[in-house]
A and B are shown apart, each in its own frame.
Chain A
Amino acid sequence: MKKKFLGVVLSVAMVASLLAGCGDKKEDKPDDSQTTEAPTDEAEGDATDAPEGDGSAASGEQIYVGIINNNPNESGYRTANDKDLKEKFSEANGYKAEFAYGEKNEEQIASAQTMIQNGVDYLILSAAGTAGWETVLQDAKDNGVKVILFDRTIDAPEDLYEASIVSDMDAEGKTAVDWLATQDLESFKIVHIQGQMGSAAQVGRTGALQSKVDAEDNWEIVVQQTADWDATKAQEIVQSVIDSKQEFNVIYAENDNMADGAVKALDKNGITHGANGDVIIMGFDTNKFALEAVLAGEWNYDGQCNPFQAKYIEEVIQKLEAGETLSEKTIVMQEKGFSHEDITEEDVAEYGY
């Protein structure tokens, strides 16, 4: 009996702690929308946004947006993305926002249907998977809900959504490869650590490097392996390259975590890297730690993948509210690359997360 009781107590405690977790997250929202915080957040964005936001709030009409995103725990990128959206679509800025998260398409589609029934004005969506959205988006259209896609595209007819705000992964890769080409090396012997195979980021960033390697005689990929975005796995892969005594002078990792893991392997084996080292380190996603490493000269390059998309989404909404038509459906965000030659402390503060 005693043990059974203990069992019940333990499981209740577990459930309670889970609920507490959920509770915390829900409480975040009102916090974010506190009027005292909003103006400082707004200052970061476009200066022109503020009056517009205030205007719609003053007229007493809140814009009701439903935002469906991926799991914010997925990566630092997603966490920053979610935070940015929550700050922008706050009550202080004239929005009534509803958030839903899903790692699977089915979950997200279910949330979308609920939101359409709740009567949102805009459905803002970062789809987990590309397929299966047509029915629900048609529903949205029939109910007069305007759909804006961000971060990820879907396989659906263009007339089902108003705009799609995306990162151009090919361009990110090309910016990085173009920078690498400016480096004064006799030959480029590259250890290429890929992200999860088939993801848009992996395909874009691999594609740019691959086409350059195919085109140039003195470019060579020594090892090409996927580490599934994981630092430890990247460390293990680079260690195996070192163990088998293969020569290399560039590490092209498709995200910051993997570049970090690679650097740890180099450190362990006494191989110098960075601005004054033997091996060039390249990463992506502009995590704060990565930009700091570039600033310190430990890494050479970090490419941006912009998580701050709320600004672009709001621009689209403002245009649609004003009755303007958008010149283009697909809006590609400006993304930069930072190298140890030109990075500044301001860049770290502004773009790191």
Chain B
Amino acid sequence: MGNTKSNRSIALFGSMKQLIIPVAALAVLILFNLIADPSFFRIGIEQNNAGNPVLSGNLISILDYGSELAILAIGMTIVTAATGGQDISIGSAIAIAGAVILRILCGTESAPETMKAPIIVAFLVACVVSMFFGAFNGMLVSVFKIQPMVATLILFTAGRSIAAWINSNRLPIVNEVEFTYFGGNIPGIALPTPFFIAVACVIIIALVLKFTNLGLYTQAVGINAKSSRLNGINPTFIKFLSFVILGLCVAVAGLIKVSRVSSINYSTIAKDIEMDAILAVALGGNALSGGKFSMTASILGAYVIQFLTTTLYKFKVPSNALPAYKAIVVIILVVLSAPVVREKLSSFWKKIRVSKKEAS
């Protein structure tokens, strides 16, 4: 028994083959930066305006700003694996989570002097609301068997208006310093907090995958829902659960996002982040049609995307050209994972091996 369990966790967290894609992408980016400008990797200690020491540098920024994406990639991986589809509403859902947090903290005022409730309460309410909206998506997908992308299109469209409605169109501002810790630095700790939050999320999901059957069941449902049901797994529940888990990830990401600026803009917060999260899953070498997955690869994929973004900023590439660069990555990924190309590549490798053998 113990043996199978450890095998399973290896399959989920350490399938080395799948890690090749994100690691290779990372290596290319690191190599490019080393050649173009090695100062990219410099890390220094600065004092922030509150007088606390903080680490700064491009690498720190990557860990900082890539965190939301890494957290979302966790949920997106599970949804993808279970349903063979993607949730495109997470940007809007983050707007809702952020709006709920600010609604609880600020009450009905725009910029209150003190917070109306402890941050933890606001965060927990946001978790519940986000999981509810996740459940709504999950219900449409699992019970009503609607295509995930179509089902989540509803919240994608309505989400930002709902978020604005929660605060009756106000754009509340939180004035207390404590609230900035989640998206900034806790005094005395030099690494950005979002990174710690992301690490905590990764540890939690690692434990869940190790000690529960979630990973196994999710893969079984993703590979073949019918046969998994014949084996006593309830595919409807697993699909539903995957969206609820993603909802929780959304709430955490939402907290970081609103904490960064202590405020919210409903129409621009976490805009297009769903596409980056899906790209992170794809970059992790996971099949977007569901089934087997590697969580490590997805999370690494998320940081690779941020690495790419930061690199492009560093070289002053116009930020509205970023999607074009991401598109290039997608094209390479899609082409490489196409069955035709894979077959050609493997036969090509075989030929090389054979010719090498012959030569020796």
A268's partner among B170, B173, B185 (CB-CB below 8 A) is B185
8 A Cβ contacts from B20-58 to A = 39-40, 46-50, 54, 56-58
A311→B254 CA distance, assembly (Å): 39
- Number of B interface residues, CB 8 Å? 57
Beta-carbon contacts under 8 Å, A1-32 to B: 3-4, 6-7, 10-11, 14, 17-18, 21, 24
- Whether A10 contacts B135 in the complex (CB less than 8 A), given A226-B318, A270-B46, comes out as yes
Min distance, Cβ A95 to any Cβ of chain B, angstroms: 22
A225, B265: Cβ atoms closer than 8 Å: no
Chain A-chain B contacts (Cβ-Cβ < 8 Å), number? 140
A231 and B316 form a contact (CB under 8 A): no
A260–B263 CB distance below 8 A: yes
Tell me the smallest distance from the CB of B96 to a CB of chain A, in Å: 12
Docked complex Cα distance between A17 and B96 (Å): 14
Verify if A79 is at the interface (C-beta below 8 Å from B). yes
Contact with A along B51-74 (1 / 0, CB 8 A): 000101110110011000000000
Listed in ascending order, the chain A residues whose CB lies under 8 Å from chain B are 3-4, 6-7, 10-11, 14, 17-18, 21, 24, 71-76, 79, 197, 223-233, 235-237, 239-240, 242-245, 257, 260-261, 264, 266-272, 287-289
Question: Are B269 and A230 interface neighbours, CB within 8 A?
Answer: yes
Q: Is the CB of A231 within 8 A of B263?
A: yes
CA distance A240 to B320 in the complex (A): 16
Q: Which residues from chain A contact B260 at a C-beta distance below 8 Å?
A: 231-232, 235, 261, 264
The answer to whether B47 and A270 touch across the interface, beta carbons within 8 angstroms, is yes
Residues of chain A within 8 A of B310, CB atoms compared: 240, 243
Which of A17, A18, A197 lies in contact with B320, CB distance below 8 A? A197
Q: Which B residue's beta carbon lies closest to that of A9?
A: B139
Q: Which residues of B contact A261 (CB under 8 A)?
A: 260-261
Chain B residues with CB under 8 Å of A10's CB are 135-136, 139
- A226 with B320: CB separation less than 8 A: yes
Which residues from chain A contact B9 at a C-beta distance below 8 Å? none
Known pairs A7-B139, A76-B171; A257 contacts B265 (CB<8 A): yes
Pair A7/B318 contact, Cβ less than 8 Å: no
User: Which 9 A-B residue pairs are closest in the complex by CB-CB distance?
Assistant: A73-B164, A240-B313, A230-B268, A231-B261, A267-B49, A270-B47, A7-B143, A21-B165, A243-B58
